[in-house]
Structure formats: C-alpha cells, structure tokens
Structure 1
Amino acid sequence: MSNLLNIGLSGINAAQWGINTTGQNISNQATPGYSVERVVYAESDGQYTTNGFLPTGVSTVTVQRQYSQYLSDQLNTAKTASSSLSTYSQLVATLNNYIGSPTGGVASAISTFFSGLQNVSSSAASRQTAISDAATLANQLTSAGAEFDSLRTSVNTQLQSAVTQVNSLTTQIAQLNQQITVASQGGQPPNQLLDQRDQAVATLQTVVGVQVVQSNGNYNVQMANGQPLVVGNTSYEMSTVPSPSDPSELTIGLRNTAAGSGAAGQVQVLSDSNITGGTIGGLLQFRSQTLDPAQAQLGAIAVSFASQVNAQNALGIDANGNVGGNLFTVPAPQSIANTDNTGDATLSASFANGQQPPTSDYTLSYDGTNYTLKDRYSGSVIGTATSLPATIGGLDLSVDDATKLKPGDSFTIEPSRNALDGFASVGTANTIAAAAPVLATRGTGNTGSATISQGTVTAGYQMPSSTTTLTYDAASKSLSGFPAGTTVTINTTPPTSYPITGTTTQVPYDSSAGASLTITSTTQPPPSGVMNNVSVQISGTPGDGDTFKIAPGGASNDNRNAQAMSNLVSSKTFDGGSTTLTTAYGSYVNNIGNTAAQLAAASTAQTALVSQITSQQQSVSGVNQDEEAVNLMQYQQMYQANAKVIQTASTLFSTLLGIFN
C-alpha cells in the first residue's frame, strides 16, 4: 500500500512541477530574453524484489530552458548590423534633409549671387543687392558649417551615452558569470540567471559589435581586435577619449585594469576600424564615411568659390577707382599634430591653388626619411616627399624646424573643413570691381573694317596710366606702337613672341586670320608703369594708318568684370576643370541623397532579416500561449489522476484495517 501511495505522491509532485513551470511560462510571455522552460521527467528507479523490480513512480530531473545557441548567435549578429545601419541611416537622413533643402540650400544662394552680378553697374541699388546676396551666401555656408558641427557634437554625445551603457552591461555580465558559477554548483542550471546573461549580451550587441566566447560556463566578451571587455567575473571599462589625430572628435578607449579595482591603469585607444556593429559602429561609420568627408567636400566648394570670385574681382576696378580686393575670406588649412607624437614640430599648410583645393582630409606621416601624405578616409597615398617645404596633393607644406620631427610623427590636415565656419563676406557695395581695367577702341578715323575687342587682363596685370596707340602699316602688314620693354605674343599654335624694343618695333598682322595678342612685360616682375598681362583681339582688314587705342579702363558704366564674375557660374573651374561650382554642388547633394536612400533600403532589409530570425528563434524559445494552455490542462489532469491513485491507496489501506478490526 505504501508503494502505491509513494507512486501517487511522486506523480502529484511531478504534476506540481509541471503546473508551476507552465505558469512561469505564461506569466513571462512578454519578458524580454525569457526562454520557455520545460520540465524533464524520468522514471524512478525500481525497487528490487524476487518477483521483479517494483515501480516507484516518477522523478523530476530538472527544469530545462528551450534555447538554441546557434539561433541566438544568428539573431545577435543580425541585430548588431541592424542597429549600426539604423544609426548610420538616421544620421545621414538628418544631414540630407539639411543639405538637400531646395529653397534654403547653398546652390540657391550661389546662383542668386552670380545672377545678381549681371545687374551690377553704376547703380548703387544693384551693388547693394549683390553685396546682400553675398552676405546671404556666407550665412548659408556658415549655417551649413554649424549643422556639421552640431552633428559632430551629437555623435560625441551619443558615443558617451553608448559607452556608459556598454560599461553597465559588461559589469552586469561579469556579475552574472559569477552568480551562475555559484548557482550551478548544485548541479542544476539557474535558468533565470542564464536568461538574464543572454539578454545582457543581446543588448550589448545592439550597442557595439563584440565576440562572445564560452569558457567553463562563463561568457568572455571581447572586441573585434581581441581586446577583452569581460573575462570571467571581471569587466574592463570602456571610455571615450579625444582622438589623438583630431581632438574635436571622441573615439573609443579601453582601460587595461579591471573595472572597480581602484587602479587607474592605462587607456588604449582603439582604431575606429576595429569597432564595428551596433550603435557605436554606426556612429563612427557615419562620422568617418559621411560627415567628415561631406564637410571637407562642401568646404572645398566654398574655398574654390571664394578664390575664383576674389581672383576675378582683383582683375577689375571698383567704384572708388581702386583695383578690386577680396569679397570673401576663408580660413587657411588646419594642421593638427597627433598627440602621440614624440617630436614637437609644427606643420603649416596652405593652398597651392585655392581655386582647385583638395576635397578630402589628409594624414601626413614621417618615418625618419620620407614624408607620406595619405587620404584620411580611404588610406590611399596622395604623394610623398623627402623634405619639406614641398607641394603635395594641392597643398604647400612646411615645418617650423625639421630637426624637431621624430620617426612615427604624424599630422592631420584638414584643408577645407573649417572653411564653412569661417566663411565671411567682407566686401561692400563700392568694392565690387565691376569695371574692367582696360578699354581698347578703334580709331575714329579708321578707313578699314578691322575691329578690336575691349580687352582683358589676367592675374598680375599692370596698366600704364597713358594710352597706347597701335598703328597699322599696310606695306609691311604690321602693327607698331607697342610699349617698349614688353613682349607681344600672337596666340597661334604654336604661339609667336616679339620683344618690343621701341614704339617702332613691328608685329606682323594677318588680315585673313586676325590676331589674338597678349602684351606682357619682358622683365618680371614688371617695372612700374609697364603694361603686363593685357590681351586684345583684332579681326578684319585695317586700312593703312588705321589706329587702335589701348587705354586704362574703370568707367563708372562699365560692368565687364562683373559679367566675368557672373560667368563663373557656368565655367568648368572646379575639380581639375571638369565641372562647374553649381554642378559640383548638385553632385555633392545627389551623392548624399543616394547614400541616404541606399542606407534606408539596407536598414529596412536588415530589419526584415532580424524579424525573420526572431521568428525562428521564438519558435524554439518563445512562449506559445495555446501550447501552454494545453500543457496546463495536461498537468491538471495528471494531478487529478495521481490524486485518485492516492485516494485508491488510502481506500485499500482503510479496507485492510477494517479486516483486522
């Protein structure tokens, strides 16, 4: 009778385990990281008798969580990629929304400025409008710079927040490792602690991509380069530190002493390339692959624009009768010594040609013999030099003292990133050099049909105060009267030059072909008062004795130089002469827009993959309410049946007692 009673009791106990476990599953259906649990039963060992082994009931072996390490790893990998893409995509979308604004964008301001120059003449109102347009453009560019700076600050702030979260999670994982080790000593798996640890790892993977290695029941967590975050019950602190190559940007470091040990230790700065996945990976990828390059590219457009406009304004005469000065200013290239340098040399950089500035940031490294300039983002070699000063990659580079350099020293060069923040309109209505400094005309008494262009000048030009008169001689088919001390070049292929020793020196003229003439000073730099870098175009057939005058320009109603500045909008003067400024900006905006669209599509696809793997993982570890309802009914029936067994044993025992009584 006692054996039957014990069998019933074991069944009651087993059913109770089943009911409790099922209730646990139902109540934790919405708990993040919870793995459904199942009771594992085994038949109890039989009791030997001479008639065979007497059954002794059922044993509850353990409560086992339904968990697939493979699916869990797959899901974590998908989530870390999804988190990275989502972060990257959202930030690029923010940048694109600003840069791509059709009404408040830089492209609109550039076009408006150039259009306004077409109307500049003696009218004070038109000049003031042009200067207002210049100020609007400057404000647009500085506003763009502020947007870039704001995004960079946001990246720094988000990195700090993410690192705080990483440290909290790694501390939790280390503590759970220890708790699991202690709890497992009884031989049973601490399911609740295991779930908590897996959930902590899963959350960590959304913040930063890590590798998890199981060892003796512990989760050891490390970065992609092998740097440990968790080893057993010890965690190592992650931190944000100013980047050695650019202190304005925070990067990730790891302390080599255990968190909470009280030891200061040293912080090892991790290369951004060693940090992938998760929020942190997305932040770093956005900064290095989009934010910094985009600011450098837009800065280069601003530098080129200012340089071209200033250069053209310098070829004109302003309303005060002076040679044109700068209408815009931009900061010089910035060079930053790496904080890990052992030498203390200072590097200086300037534009070799401001109209064709570099469109990226660079790193200059010194190995003790050679200087190597690399693109900061692609790592491609731009150029090398054995000594400084030297011109590499569109920059004039020099050091204050080469003996201060040590092998391994490096410098970050940001040619145009700060151009946006420091871009300024410095002109006034009267300093717009609208007039050309030269005005050529044909003589009023000419008998021939020949005409002469009004004339143009190039950089370094010089105009004498007096008028130069050219005279055509029909017998020799030549022109004379050019200023002594100059050289006249006929721009044929190849060009032909004629030194002018006196006003009687003759320069051939072919009436059938005409002539494009450039007058330069034979002595460089040109002596005061000597004509230099002045060009005119003569065409047609002059009569004998016909004259052509080349005089100083600057008339108040002349806006030829303003027109020349306006024409810059359609001149292919950017990116090696392959594109216009407005086209370059349009391509720039399109590239950011395409990147935003591609990232949005990739993020959507990765989110779908996460959902797919989540469904697979939940089919193993998730709670199914219908299944649990069936299990609950099964265990209830099991409980009732075993209670009946106990009742039967009790009845039999009572019957037996009645016989003896």
Structure 2
Amino acid sequence: MTTNIYSIGLSGLQAAQIGIATSGENISNSSTPGYDVESPVFAEASGQQTGSGYLGNGVTTATVQRAYSQYLTTALNNAQSSNSSLTASYNLASQLSNLVGSPTSGIATSITSFFTGLQSVANAPSNTSTMQTALSNAQTLAAQINAAGQQYDSMRQGVNTQLSNSVTQINSYSQQIAQLNAQITTATTNGQQPNQLLDARDQAVANLSQLVGVQVVQSNNGYSVFLGNGQPLVVSNQSYNLATQPSSTNSAELTVTWTGLAGSNSTPQPLSSAALQGGTVGGLVSFVQNTLDPAEAQLGAIATSFAAQVNNQNELGYTLNGQPGGALFSVSPALVTGNTANTGNAAVGVTLTNPTQPSTDTYALSYSTASGTGTWTLTDTTTNTVMGSTTTAPSSTTPFTAGGLSITVSSGTMNNGDSYTIQPTGNALDSFAVAATSATAIAAAAPVLVAAGTANTGSATVTPGTVTSGYTVPSTPVKLTYTAPASGTVGTLSGFPVGTTVSITTPGSSTPTSVAITSATQTVNYDSSTGATFTITGPAADGVNNVSFTMSGAPANNDTFTISANTSGSQDGRNALALANLTSSTQFNGSATLTSAYANYVNSVGNTATQLQASSTSQQSLVTQLTSQQQSVQGVNLDEEAANLMQYEQLYQANSKVIQTAATLFQTLIGIFQ
C-alpha cells in the first residue's frame, strides 16, 4: 500500500512538472509568431482491483494539446491575403499618383505654354524669335512626356522585381510546407501530435497566403495547397514551383508561370490573373492590369491626339519660306507584339485611322484556318468584343480596317493559331518627339486669301478664308461677282470654278444647301439679311478644293470678291492662331480639351489610389478583428498562465506532502520490526 501511495504521489509530481513546463513554454513563446497556446491533458491512471475495492494509481498526462481553430485560421489567412493584395496595389497606385502630380502642373503647364507661344506667333508671324520660343516650349513638352514614359517604364521594372522576389518566396514556403508534411507524418507515428511542427506549418501557410491567395485542403497526408485555378503548390510531401517569364503579349512585363514539380523540366504554363487572386502577387498583377497599363494608355492617347491635331493644323498653313507646313511632332505607330507561341513570321504593321481620337483599349489580331479559309479577326481584349474579321490578306493596298486600326502584313506569313497584341498608344510616351528642326517650320500663315474688291461700293465683308485637309488653292485668282436682286435681299454670286460644289450654310442652320457648278454662268444665292458661309469642294481644273469663307453684309451690284493663294505669308498669322485655338479643341473625345483630358487623367489616377486606400483600410480593420478573435482562442494569456503556475505549484506541493506521508508511514513500519 505504501508503494501505491508513493506511485500516486510521484504521478502527481510529474503532472505538476509537465503543467509548469507547459505554462513556462507558453509564457516564453507569448510573442512568437504562429505559436498556439498549449495545455496538458490529464487523465486518471489505470487502477487495480483489491479486496477493499478498486483503487486508483494516480494521474497520467495523456497529451499536451495546442489550442487551434481551423475556421478562424482560414478566415484570417484569407483576410490577410486580400489585405496584402490591396496594400500592394495601393502602395504602387499612390506612388504613381505622386509621379503624375497635379492636374495643373507638369505636362498640363507645358501644353498651355506651347499654345501661348503659338498665340505670340499669330500676333507677330514674321518674328522668328517668337517662333523659336514656341519651338522651345514644344521641346520642353516633349521632354516631360518622355520623362513620364520613363517613369512608367521604371514602375513596370519595379513591379517585375517585386513579382520575381515574391515568386521565389512562394517556392520557398511551398517547399517548407511539403517538408513539414513529411516530418509531421513521421512524428505522429507514436500517436502524439508534434505541436511545434504543426505551428510551423500553419505559420508557413499564413506567410504563403500573404504572397498569393491559396486554398488549403487537410487530409491524412497533411496539407494540400492550391492556387485559385486549382493548380497545386503542395500535395503531401511534394512541392510545385512557380516562375516568371516575359509576357507573351508585352515583353516589358512579366507573367507568372506554373512549372510543375520542383526540379522537373515541365513546360511553364502561364497563369491568368484569375489564378493569382489575393496576396502581394495578386496585388501586383491587379495594379499592372487595372491601373498602370490603362493610365499609360490614357496619357499615350492624349499625347498621340495632341501631336495629330497640331500636325494636321500645321499642314494646313504656309511657312515663312512660302512652303506648306509639315509635322511639328512625331509619335511612333501602334505597338504590335507577336505572341511568343507563334509559328509564323508575319510582319504586322498598324496605324490609327484617326490619330486625333486614339483608342486606349488593347486589341488582339488572330489568324485561324479552322473553317478551311484563312480568317483574320480583331478583338478588343479590354471589352472582349470582336471588332471585325476578314478573309482577305491585309496588305498596303487592301488593309484590314476595324476598331479604328488599319492593319497590314508587309512580309512573312501567319500560321493557324498565331496572334498579335496591339496597343494603339503603347509607344507614344517614349517616342514622342519634336519633328521640326527649325523654328521656321511653324506654318503661321493660311494658304488662301479671300478679299473684297477695292472698288466695291456695298457693305459686304468676307473673312480671309480657311482650308481643311486635302485643300488646294488656285494658281490664278478666282473672281466672284455679285448680282443684286431687283427687290428683296437674295442676290446671286457667280464665277465659281466649273466642276466644284458650293455648300451654303446660313447662321443658325446645321444643314447646308449644296449647288453643283456645271457651267461658268451657274449662280449661287446669297441672302444679305443673314449672311452665309461658303465651302468650295473640288476637284476643279484650276485647283480649288476644301476652301471656306464667310460673307456678311449687303454687296452692291457687280461687287467682286477674289479667292487666291496667300502671297503675304510673313504678315499672316491666321494658321498660327488656329494652332493656338487647339487649346479649346474637343477633337480628342468630343467633350474634353487636351488640358482638361490631362486633368481627367491625373484625377483618375488619384481617385484609383484613394479608392484602394479606403479598401485597404477597411480590409485591415477586418484583419485586426479576426486576429483578435483568433488570439482569444489560440493566443497566450499571460494572466491565465500566471494563475496556472500557482495551481501547478500547489499541486506539486500537495503531491510532495503525499510522498512525505508515505515515507513517514514506511519509517513507522520499519520501527515496529526493530
């Protein structure tokens, strides 16, 4: 019996020691990331049957278990994954917003300065110093647009670096989880759970979740970890790797690929954005697709439209040298990237059908022979809309025109399944440049001059005249003669070149009246009470085409008006004024001027950053809430551990007293026989 009392006391001492050791472990790891609080599980030791009844043999420690909630852990991992994604996107969007700056500074200021310089040229068209100032303003604008392109390139390289580093970390955690699966399987063969290994595995999964969104499936073989599209990262004790490679649609960007088992030579499989939701990687991919690329395309469209509008107007004027104006700015054509999986060697070229209104979407040109006939199809991948298709091979004489793009294949062939990505303004920022080498390239003068005869006796006046694209002016002046009516206000003008068509638009009317000039005696009505704008379109033998002028007032009978080439260009700043007036043009999108379009672009980037900040703050609050809930179950409570220590100390003291009592009894028995 004394021996049984000894055993009972010793079992109690051992239980108390395990309790004290467990509390000490909890206290020392209270700040250790991923540590789950542990507690001993005590059970009554197997007893024995005696004549006096069934007597117990003390206490035994069944196990030391950790507090763990799979539900809370999974919820927290998912919340942290979303938060990491939003944080990565917000940090980059905020950086981009800071680079873009204020909507009234930088590029916007340079655009305004350029147009202000052109106004000065219009006021003094023969002054080459004002032209030089305008050209210097143009060069400043080009430098700032190029700098913006370099900033975008730099940010894209930064994203690529972060993406590569994150993929390396993902592979490391995947390998770690697979190794822990194997170690845990081995360690549990004795029937006890290896708490330290379990904590390490859960912490590795938590770290992995912050890099990329994953799904975790628990089985007898441990954790299996999968990406959003079902591609495995870990299955039992095997890990699968990710890698990065240049995008098949944009070589400046990296694509994340799945490369199979670690150490294998599997062909990399590019992963879509749907497979990379959540985590830092998801945030980086989302930022590039939803913020960086669209913002660059928007600014590129503004630069492209600006160059096209200025060039078009400058080409409608004459320089100081009496020559037609040319392009003041140059921008590279659309960026075309062949898919890396293409087997053909076609050289695809793309131009914009209307560069004043370029698209900011991305397009895909694909070729298929599935129907038995070679078919080229253009798809807007931004909206997932088919823009058009053709079975006629695109060439310089028969281009494939769709979606505002004119597509040609200058050489080589396309094979079935080949595709090309088209970014209409993908090269705009880096390639934007001043094409003019001399300030005198600014065509300040208008090429046509409409004037009233010096001998006229009526009150009619005419504007000097304007031209539109494709214009021609007569080498010999065209004389128009007015015939007054016998009564009323509607007279006639004659002398318009045979073969032309004259369109007459009266103030307040949007529908012109057209008159075909079929003979030298053909007349055109003019109402002196309203005035009218006349537009002459050809072709005509004497070369009058796309010339307009406005007449107002009442001409006298036989008053004359001439249309001739402008020979006093050095004193004429009408085209420079038209260039300066582009500051209020809404050709870009029909509603916004170039400066307001730039302001909208800056505000759009800023709004995106603000929205991401709000979402990130909200998600961080959820993470804090779930962390608190998880720690209430799995975390170490130091007050509770202090109470446990006191309890185990008392348990140890009490069991020591049991052993002391057993020793006294034993000594008493010895004394009886002495």
Whether TM-score is above 0.5 comes out as yes
Map of 2:379 onto structure 1 = 374
478-487 or 185-194, which deviates more: 478-487
Comparing 353-362 with 75-84, greater Cα deviation is found at: 353-362
Give the structure 1 partner of residue 494 of structure 2. Answer: 480
Structure 2 residue aligned with 1:77: 78
1:93: which partner in 2?
Answer: 94
Residue 393 in structure 1 maps to residue 416 in structure 2: no
**What code does the residue aligned with 1:562 have?**
A
| Partner in structure 1 of residue 148 of structure 2 | 144
Per-residue CA deviation, residues 493-530 of structure 1 (Å, 9 max, x unaligned), is: 3422232544x54333332333321223235xxx6x51
* CA 1:362–1:417: 2 relative to 1, 3 Å: same
Q: Shift of residue 104 of structure 1? A: 4.3
Equivalent position of 1:422 in the other structure: 431
SS at match of 1:247: coil
Instruction: Give the TM-score of the pair, scaled to structure 1.
Output: 0.95
Residue by residue over 1:532-564, the C-alpha shift from the partner in whole angstroms, topping out at 9 and shown as x without a partner, is 211111122111121212232252132111111
Q: Could you tell me whether the CA contact under 8 Å between 1:104 and 1:140 is conserved in 2?
A: no
Deviations 1:169-198 (A, max 9, x none): 111111111111111111100000000000
Alignment correspondent of 1:570: 584
Query: Does residue 56 in structure 1 map to residue 57 in structure 2?
Result: yes
Q: Does 1:612 align with 2:612?
A: no
Question: What SS does structure 1 have at the residue aligned with 2:527?
Answer: coil
Identify the residue that residue 66 of structure 1 maps to in structure 2.
67
Q: Structure 2 vs 1, CA of residues 454 and 358 (structure 1 numbering), >3 Å: closer, same or farther?
A: same
Give per-residue Cα distances to partners, 1:6-48, cap 9 Å, x unaligned.
1110000001101111111111111110001000000111111
* 1:292, distance to aligned residue in structure 2 (A): 0.8
Paired residues for 1:507-546 under 5 Å: 507-522=524-539, 530-546=543-559
Deviation by residue 1:570-617 (Cα, 9 ceiling, x = unmatched) = 122112x23322222222222211111110000000001000000000
Work out the CA distance in 2 between the residues paired with 1:401 and 1:424.
28
Alignment of 1:591-606 (within 5 A): 591-606=604-619
How far did 1:484 drift?
4.5
Higher deviation after alignment, 545-554 or 618-627 = 545-554
Structure 1 contact 499–522 (Cα < 8 Å) conserved: no
CA distance in 2, matches of 1:33, 1:21: 17
1:386 Cα shift?
Answer: 4.4
- 1:207 equivalent to 2:224? Answer no
- Is the 1:498–1:507 Cα contact (8 Å) retained in structure 2? no
Distance 1:423 1:649 in 2: 97
Offset, 1:473 = 2.3
8 A Cα contact 1:447 1:543, kept in partner = yes
Which residues of 2 match residues 161-310 of structure 1 at below 5 A? 161-256=165-260, 258-260=261-263, 263-310=264-311
Amino acid at match of 2:433: A
Contact 2:135/2:439 (CA < 8 Å) preserved in 1?
yes
Matched, 1:579 2:592: yes
Specify the code of the residue in structure 1 equivalent to 2:654.
A
Distance in 2, Cα, partners of 1:355 & 1:652: 107
Tell me by how many angstroms 1:124 deviates.
2.4
> Aligned ranges for residues 403-414 of structure 1 at < 5 Å?
404-414=413-423
Within 2, Cα distance between the matches of 1:519 and 1:104?
A: 43
Higher mean Cα deviation, 645-654 or 386-395?
386-395
CA distance in 1, matches of 2:406, 2:444: 32
Counterpart secondary structure, 2:230: coil
Structure 2 letter corresponding to 1:407: N
Are the aligned partners of 2:319 and 2:569 in contact in 1 as well (CA < 8 Å)?
A: no
User: Shift of residue 3 of structure 1?
Assistant: 0.6
Q: Which runs of 5+ in 1 are unaligned?
A: none
Aligned to 1:124: 128
1:457 is matched with: 467
SS at match of 1:535: strand
Residue 569 of structure 2 aligns to a residue in which SS? Answer: coil
Give the residue type in structure 2 aligned to 1:498: A
The answer to whether the 8 A contact 1:239-1:255 is kept is: yes
* Residues in 2 aligned to 1:450 and 1:301: alpha-carbon distance in whole angstroms: 42
CA positional deviation for 1:485? 4.7
Paired with 1:380 and 1:596, the residues of 2 have a C-alpha distance of: 28
Q: Which of the residues 486, 497, 516 maps onto 1:498?
A: 516
Q: Normalized against structure 2, the TM-score is what?
A: 0.93
Query: Are positions 1:626 and 2:636 aligned together?
Result: no
Pick one of 661, 665, 668 that aligns with 1:648: 661
Deviations for 1:352-378, whole angstroms, at most 9, x for unmatched residues? 111111112112233435443333334
Q: Take 2:284 and 2:31, find their aligned partners in 1: how far apart are those partners?
A: 31
Q: CA RMSD in A?
A: 1.8
Q: Percent identity?
A: 55
Partner amino acid, structure 1, of 2:48: Q
Answer with 125-134 or 24-33: which moved more. 125-134
Mapped partners of 1:308, 1:592: distance in 2:
25
> Quick one: distance in 1 between partners of 2:274 and 2:195?
37
Q: Distance in 2 between matches of 1:548 and 1:494?
A: 21
Q: Which letter does structure 1 place at the counterpart of 2:620?
A: T
SS for the counterpart of 1:246 is coil
C-alpha separation in 2, matches of 1:273 and 1:245: 17
Question: Residue 74 of structure 1 aligns to a residue in which SS?
Answer: helix
Change (3 A) 1:490 1:405: same
Q: Name the structure 2 match of 1:358.
A: 359
Contact 2:216 2:224 in 1 (8 A): yes
Structure 2: unaligned runs, 5 residues or longer: none
Q: Residue type matched to 1:563 in 2?
A: L
Q: Which amino acid aligns with 1:506?
A: T
Distance in 2 (CA, whole Å) between partners of 1:506 and 1:488 is 10
Q: Secondary structure at the match of 1:45?
A: coil
What do the CA deviations read for 1:311-339 (whole angstroms, capped 9, x no partner)? 00011111222111111000001211111
Find the counterpart in structure 2 of residue 440 from structure 1.
450
1:475 Cα deviation after fit? 5.5
Tell me if the contact between 2:103 and 2:602 (Cα under 8 Å) persists in the aligned partners: no
Deviation at 1:441, TM superposition (A): 1.8
